[in-house]
């Protein structure tokens, strides 16, 4: 499982720490073989990085995202505050990796709950959803593939340019 972010952004620090301290112990109870990768620059800002729990690996800045996503079965994005576009979710979806997120973490992204993304609000439910996707390859593949298709339809450069052009010209067909 992966959480990827820049840890100069306080909501990413808080999300990583919440994932490690609150979600991770529950997930390991359900799926003892799980591993958690924390990737991105500035990881020393995450309090748990000083003494990581078993099964948690801090990778720092990762230059080869293709290799990172090949190691990843599920992305968990337990963001609880903040705004902006959740690029980490769109990126994971573009790789066909299923995403488990909080509703706040996925705000503004047009993915259908439980079909293209899994949204849960608390640590117990986040852990259960992650464990289910880690253990059920068919479900994980189905959600990841659906998310990838939706991201291609809505968020590629050509799709965004077409949507902007339609708004500017008034052609909303």
**What's the pTM value of the predicted model, to 2 decimals?**
0.90
Tokens, residue 61: 């800045």
Q: What is the pLDDT of residue 21?
A: 97
**Of 17, 34, 6, which is closest to residue 129 (Cα–Cα)?**
34
**Domains within the chain, CATH numbers bracketed:** 2-169 (3.40.50.2000)
Kindly give the parts of the chain with pLDDT less than 70: 84-85, 172-173
DSSP letters of 12-59?
HHHHHHHIIIIIHHHHHHH-TT--EEEESTTGGGSGGGGSPPTTEEEE
Cα 3 from Cα 76, distance rounded (Å)? 6
Q: What is the pLDDT of residue 159?
A: 81
Q: What is the pLDDT of residue 161?
A: 85
Q: pLDDT digits over 106-151, tens only?
A: 998 999 999 999 999 999 999 999 999 999 999 999 999 999 999 9
Handedness of CA 145, 150, 160, 121 (dihedral sign): negative
The C-alpha angle 103, 105, 109, rounded to 5 degrees, equals: 80
Q: Could you list the beta-strand ranges (E) of the chain.
A: 2-4, 36-39, 56-60, 75-77, 99-101, 118-119
Q: What is the pLDDT of residue 84?
A: 63
Q: What is the pLDDT of residue 35?
A: 97
Q: What is the pLDDT of residue 155?
A: 85
Q: What is the pLDDT of residue 13?
A: 96
Q: What is the pLDDT of residue 72?
A: 97
Handedness of CA 120, 47, 41, 59 (dihedral sign): negative
């Amino acid at each position: 499982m992966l959480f990827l972010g820049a840890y100069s952004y306080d909501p990413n620090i808080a999300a990583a720490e919440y994932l490690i301290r609150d979600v991770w112990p529950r997930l390991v109870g359900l799926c003892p073989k799980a591993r958690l990768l924390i990737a991105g620059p500035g990881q020393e800002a995450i309090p748990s990085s000083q003494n990581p729990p078993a099964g948690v690996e801090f990778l720092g800045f990762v230059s080869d995202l293709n290799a990172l996503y090949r190691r990843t079965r599920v992305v968990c994005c337990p963001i609880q505050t903040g705004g902006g576009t959740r690029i980490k979710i769109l990126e994971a979806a573009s790789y066909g990796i299923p995403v488990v997120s909080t509703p706040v973490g996925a705000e503004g992204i047009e993915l259908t709950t439980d079909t293209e993304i899994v949204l849960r609000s608390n640590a117990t439910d986040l852990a259960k959803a992650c464990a289910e996707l880690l253990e059920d390859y068919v479900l994980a593949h189905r959600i990841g593939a659906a998310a990838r298709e939706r991201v291609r339809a809505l968020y590629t450069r050509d799709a965004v340019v077409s949507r902007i052009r339609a708004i500017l010209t008034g052609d909303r067909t």
